[in-house]
């Protein structure tokens, strides 16, 4: 495992990488509610059946967190377990959530969740950007053909749909999140 960066911020999302996936959805909830649901990553397994666990591992200086996450990518009734370790930064001023994977097969992947108010609620967009695993000759191909579209999109789209349901349920019940 690589240790957390000494930087106090993950910086802007690095686009133009070899593999990029985008998952996007309009959620019928205000941006503040959807942002609160998404940034509470330690609660994801309680709401999302495909998540095995999310553990806070460390809080290095500068507002970053180190989170260990594991989820299943389902293929019919069969769940393929995945695991990764990320630096996480919550940017309440934007609002946005940034991750940089520092452990697991997706090491060095950057992820950004953004929340844009729109007339019917919030446009939530998840972007994953990565140059692929450091496998000679096949790393970029594996990232573009399998890891990105099958695993990353498969898990991210399900995560976004599940968290959207939580935010919309909270709005329908008249509950504001702390």
Give the mean pLDDT of 151-167: 97
Long-range CB pairs of 43-51 (<8 Å, 24+ gap) are 44/69, 44/159, 44/163, 47/162, 47/163, 47/166, 48/158, 48/159, 48/162, 48/163, 49/162, 50/74, 50/79, 50/155, 50/158, 50/159, 50/162, 51/159
Q: pLDDT tens, 74-100?
A: 898 888 999 999 999 998 788 999 999
**Mean pLDDT calculated for residue range 134-146:** 93
pLDDT per position as a tens digit, 25-54: 999 999 999 999 999 999 999 999 999 999
Domains of the chain, by residue range, sit at: 19-172
Please determine, looking at this structure, whether the domain spanning 19-172 carries the CATH number 1.20.1250.20. no
Q: What is the pLDDT of residue 59?
A: 87
Where would I find the beta strands (DSSP E) of the chain?
Answer: 19-27, 51-58, 65-75, 78-91, 96-103, 110-118, 121-130
């Amino acid at each position: 495992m690589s240790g957390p960066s000494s930087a106090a911020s993950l910086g802007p999302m690095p686009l133009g990488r070899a593999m990029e996936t985008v998952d996007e959805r309009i959620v019928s909830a205000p941006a503040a509610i959807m942002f609160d649901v998404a940034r509470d990553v330690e609660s994801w397994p309680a709401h999302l059946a495909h998540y095995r666990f999310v553990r806070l591992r460390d809080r290095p200086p500068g507002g970053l967190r180190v989170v260990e996450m594991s989820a299943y990518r389902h293929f019919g009734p069969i769940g393929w377990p995945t695991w990764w370790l990320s630096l996480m930064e919550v940017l309440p001023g934007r609002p946005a959530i940034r991750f940089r994977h520092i452990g697991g097969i997706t090491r060095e992947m950057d992820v950004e969740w953004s929340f844009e108010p729109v007339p019917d609620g919030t446009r939530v967009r998840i972007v994953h950007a990565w140059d692929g695993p450091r496998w000679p000759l096949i790393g970029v191909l594996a990232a573009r053909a399998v890891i990105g579209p099958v695993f990353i999109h498969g898990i991210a789209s399900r995560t976004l749909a599940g968290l959207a349901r939580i935010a919309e349920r909270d709005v329908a019940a008249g509950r504001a999140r702390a």
